[in-house]
A and B are shown apart, each in its own frame.
Chain A
Amino acid sequence: MAVKPQVLEEKEVYISPYFPEYVRPKIEDPGLDETIKRLTPEKIEKAYQAVFGKETARIKAIIETCIHCGLCAEACQWYLSNDRDPTYSPVAKVKMSAWELIKRKGKVEPGLVYHIARVVFTECNICHRCSLYCPFGLDITFIIGLVRRFCFLLGVVPQRMFEMNQAFMATLNQVWISQSDYIDTLMWREEEGMYELKNLRVPLNKEGVEVIWYPLAAEPKAGVYHIDRIAKIFQVAGVNWAMVTINDAWDSSNMPMFTRDFFTMQRIVKGLYENAAKFRAKKLVLTE
């Protein structure tokens, strides 16, 4: 039996005042709606200068080589799944964000920042497929990423993404897990797993192992059974492995990559490599 989704109410519509062809359902997100209220022209221009001010060769090459042919459109899942609406094509997203910013040299109003943030954060998955369709192989996603960084520097980021980024900035994991909860959870999962696989171990902070497994923090937080499942696989496979609980460096989900928070990205990767080096592990296994 086919189930037809019911539309319970007419959705309010948002029409971009800057690009009237951009028509979308109205959404409420404090990361976009509320944060733009804190912006000033000076802040916006400063963020623009920080990201686009130098106009590096890489940026120029992409912006100036694009001939607006639109071949990238067929690569984009957003375009294809929205009845080939041209406003979802990668070239349109660059036009409505980076080109507009560069054309106006960052002298833009908070309303446009809202529009730009909505486009680059909620209508692009940074999958890089468009580059493969571009006749020049232009790295369109790189430009979208820069616009995301511009928005991040202004604190205009969708709520869920921003909150996760803040968790990393404060705790180096995506879900604010405390040090005690992490260790407690790993010990608990070893105990649970012992009844399913005799003598199961979740080794912690062990030197000279073959493998360190760095989970996503969502696993010890919300998918705790992942811990003992992975432990069982390693144990049955006879792998000399361990998990690490020190220095807050154990969550491999580098979510700040999606906001282009470069320094938090570095802190995460540096921490993971330093812990691996400390315990002289030969391989890192990451959840994905």
Chain B
Amino acid sequence: MNQKEGWDWETKNKIIADIKEWESKYIDIRELTPSPDGEKIAAIVQPETRKFTLCVNGETCEDLFDRMYSLKFNLENEPICLGYSDYQWTVIIGDKCETRWENTFDMMWNLTLSPDTKSIAVNFRTPEMTQGVCLNDNPWEETFIEVRDVIISPDGQRTASRVQINPRRELDIFWFYEKNYTIAVDGKPWDNSFMSVYGGIFSDDGNHVAACIMTDLSKYTIAVDGKPWGKEFGGCWEPIFVPKSSDVIAPVLTPQGWTLAKNEDPIWPYFMQVWKQKFSPDGKKLAAVVALASGKWTVAVDGVPWGITFNQMVLDPVFSPDSKKIAVVVKNNNKWTVAVDGVPWAETFDNVWDPVFSPTGDKVAVRAEKDGNYYVVIDGKLNKEAYDWLWDPQFSPDGLKILIRGIKEGKYFRKILSVDEIIK
């Protein structure tokens, strides 16, 4: 991330805000969220009963809202959230809530940022009780009876959603067979509709959308741009696109078991379960979470499972930037840890968050909870200092330092530690 170059990687410790003081000042504080660079801490605060505003580093906006939620920061370190006043919702941007969308709606939800955080998309409901997606303050022209989820293209220029195209007839069990669901892209529904649609995703170039569809009772397949694959399956999980291509990979349930299919044809061996498939950044490796048997979860890379299994959970695999390594959060015998290329760390935790690779891919950092305290952990080694709460650590562009954002003794701080200090 280029943005990281401009961050302060020198100041070792900054106390940014006294959160305890906020707690005494306001009825409550919600969605406490730090900026990516750690210099700001924001929350939705309630200064008086049922009145909310944004508080950034202790300073609040002048305006009060009846409802506020979905607080996030963009990579420019600006807070973004949804606010409701005068019976209208809108998007609010900036430390002082200085930027508002011109469009306001009856209801807004699923505030979504594009990967570069420059585009903002939200689901909305109109006073006529129709629904759509609003991208960068431009609502879809065509709205629908119902929309579910914001699906945003990688470049943030296009949006899609799962939409209901026909009004439901109460208790009419034959309505369902009329295929009332499809995907709308930029507000335009696909030509085909289906009994159910879930798990939509854009291709890298934003020109294609794939989703799971239900074609009959217990029959599922993948549709790409509205066209179903030729084969049907007992079940499908969320598809992904092959990088820089319109080919689609999805887990499918066949009579032999679960496998990955590419454009309808199985390409992997069969497992008891397959999901969370992911390509490496260079697009050359394909990893997924698989179950070899009940309670035997692991990661498979290009169809070959790791030699170790975990008996409870394996979360999303994370590739290193150089595509060489995979780190994943695992749960075994009620303890969480991280496994890197099939080797779990010796240290276990009560909770551990998603792995973060260093830019060169040689180190893995996480935040973890142990005995009620939170720690930064690098390559399985706990930093000695315990915190009351932490957010994900971030490596400096050279990978030698790490930014820690957390709370200790009621104060929000940002710290820069040398990676060597922790792993020694």
Q: Hey, which bits of chain A sit against chain B, CB under 8 A?
A: 30-31, 34-35, 152-153, 155, 159-160, 162-163, 166, 169-171, 176, 178-180, 183-184, 187, 191, 194, 199, 201, 203-204, 206, 208, 245-248, 261-263, 266-267, 270, 273, 277, 280, 282
**Residues A263 and B218 in contact, CB atoms below 8 Å apart:** yes
> Quick one: closest A residue to B353, CB to CB?
A280
A contact residues around B147 at 8 Å (CB): 179
B contact residues around A208 at 8 Å (CB): 351, 369, 389
> Quick one: closest B residue to A161, CB to CB?
B173
Docked Cα-Cα span, A179 to B198, in Å, equals: 14
In whole Å, how far is A111's beta carbon from the nearest beta carbon of chain B?
A: 20
**Residues A179 and B30 in contact, CB atoms below 8 Å apart:** no
Docked Cα-Cα span, A261 to B216, in Å, equals: 12
Given contacts A170-B181, A194-B50, 11 further A-B contacts (CB under 8 A): A31-B173, A153-B218, A163-B171, A166-B176, A169-B176, A169-B195, A170-B176, A180-B123, A187-B67, A187-B69, A208-B351
Given A31-B173, A187-B67, the answer on whether A266 and B196 have CB atoms closer than 8 Å is: no
B contact residues around A248 at 8 Å (CB): 148-149, 198
Q: How many residues of B contact A (CB 8 A)?
A: 46
Give the most central of A180, A191, A267, A280: most B CB within 10 Å: A180
B contact residues around A194 at 8 Å (CB): 49-50
Docked Cα-Cα span, A267 to B199, in Å, equals: 11
**Residues A162 and B173 in contact, CB atoms below 8 Å apart:** yes
**Residues B148 and A179 in contact, CB atoms below 8 Å apart:** yes
B146 at interface by CB-CB < 8 Å: yes
B131 at interface by CB-CB < 8 Å: yes
**Residues A180 and B218 in contact, CB atoms below 8 Å apart:** no
Docked Cα-Cα span, A277 to B331, in Å, equals: 10
Given A159-B173, A277-B315, the answer on whether A183 and B196 have CB atoms closer than 8 Å is: no
> Quick one: closest B residue to A178, CB to CB?
B146
Given A180-B109, A194-B49, A194-B50, the answer on whether A199 and B28 have CB atoms closer than 8 Å is: yes
B contact residues around A34 at 8 Å (CB): 174
Instruction: Give the interface SS of chain A, mostly helix, strand, loop or mixed.
Output: helix
Docked Cα-Cα span, A206 to B30, in Å, equals: 9
21 pairs from A and B in contact (CB 8 Å cutoff):
A30-B173, A34-B174, A155-B217, A159-B173, A169-B214, A170-B164, A170-B180, A178-B146, A179-B110, A179-B149, A180-B131, A187-B67, A199-B28, A201-B30, A204-B69, A206-B31, A261-B218, A262-B218, A263-B235, A266-B235, A270-B275
**Residues B123 and A179 in contact, CB atoms below 8 Å apart:** yes
Give the most central of B173, B350, B369: most A CB within 10 Å: B173
B contact residues around A261 at 8 Å (CB): 217-218
A contact residues around B253 at 8 Å (CB): 263
Docked Cα-Cα span, A191 to B66, in Å, equals: 10
**Residues B28 and A166 in contact, CB atoms below 8 Å apart:** no
In whole Å, how far is B162's beta carbon from the nearest beta carbon of chain A?
A: 9
Docked Cα-Cα span, A52 to B50, in Å, equals: 58
Given A159-B173, A170-B195, the answer on whether A263 and B220 have CB atoms closer than 8 Å is: yes
**Residues A203 and B30 in contact, CB atoms below 8 Å apart:** yes
**Residues B171 and A184 in contact, CB atoms below 8 Å apart:** no
Docked Cα-Cα span, A246 to B70, in Å, equals: 11
B contact residues around A267 at 8 Å (CB): 198, 235
B313 at interface by CB-CB < 8 Å: yes
A contact residues around B173 at 8 Å (CB): 30-31, 35, 159, 162-163, 166
B308 at interface by CB-CB < 8 Å: no
A contact residues around B243 at 8 Å (CB): none
Docked Cα-Cα span, A176 to B27, in Å, equals: 35
A contact residues around B275 at 8 Å (CB): 270
In whole Å, how far is A118's beta carbon from the nearest beta carbon of chain B?
A: 16
In whole Å, how far is A84's beta carbon from the nearest beta carbon of chain B?
A: 34
> Quick one: closest A residue to B212, CB to CB?
A267
Docked Cα-Cα span, A131 to B111, in Å, equals: 51
**Residues B109 and A183 in contact, CB atoms below 8 Å apart:** yes
Docked Cα-Cα span, A147 to B149, in Å, equals: 36
**Residues B218 and A282 in contact, CB atoms below 8 Å apart:** no
Docked Cα-Cα span, A170 to B419, in Å, equals: 48
Q: Mark B169-209, 1 if CB is under 8 A from A, else 0.
A: 00111101000110000000000000110100000000000
Given A169-B196, A178-B131, A201-B28, the answer on whether A282 and B351 have CB atoms closer than 8 Å is: yes
User: Which residue of B196, B217, B353, B369 contacts A153 across the interface (Cβ within 8 Å)?
Assistant: B217
Docked Cα-Cα span, A171 to B164, in Å, equals: 10
In whole Å, how far is A122's beta carbon from the nearest beta carbon of chain B?
A: 16
Residues B305-360 near A (CB distance < 8 A): 313, 315, 350-351, 353
In whole Å, how far is B372's beta carbon from the nearest beta carbon of chain A?
A: 11
B414 at interface by CB-CB < 8 Å: no
A contact residues around B389 at 8 Å (CB): 208
B399 at interface by CB-CB < 8 Å: no
B125 at interface by CB-CB < 8 Å: yes
B231 at interface by CB-CB < 8 Å: no
> Quick one: closest B residue to A188, CB to CB?
B67
**Residues A179 and B109 in contact, CB atoms below 8 Å apart:** yes
Residues B22-66 near A (CB distance < 8 A): 27-28, 30-31, 46, 49-50
Docked Cα-Cα span, A31 to B175, in Å, equals: 12
B4 at interface by CB-CB < 8 Å: no
Docked Cα-Cα span, A262 to B180, in Å, equals: 22
B404 at interface by CB-CB < 8 Å: no
**Residues A263 and B234 in contact, CB atoms below 8 Å apart:** yes
In whole Å, how far is B336's beta carbon from the nearest beta carbon of chain A?
A: 9
In whole Å, how far is A199's beta carbon from the nearest beta carbon of chain B?
A: 5
B107 at interface by CB-CB < 8 Å: yes
B contact residues around A160 at 8 Å (CB): 171
Q: Which 9 A-B pairs have the closest CB atoms?
A: A263-B235, A166-B176, A180-B107, A162-B173, A180-B125, A280-B351, A169-B196, A170-B196, A178-B146
B168 at interface by CB-CB < 8 Å: yes
Give the most central of B171, B181, B369: most A CB within 10 Å: B171
Docked Cα-Cα span, A159 to B217, in Å, equals: 15
A contact residues around B171 at 8 Å (CB): 159-160, 163
User: Which residue of A155, A199, A263 contacts B27 across the interface (Cβ within 8 Å)?
Assistant: A199
Docked Cα-Cα span, A171 to B33, in Å, equals: 30
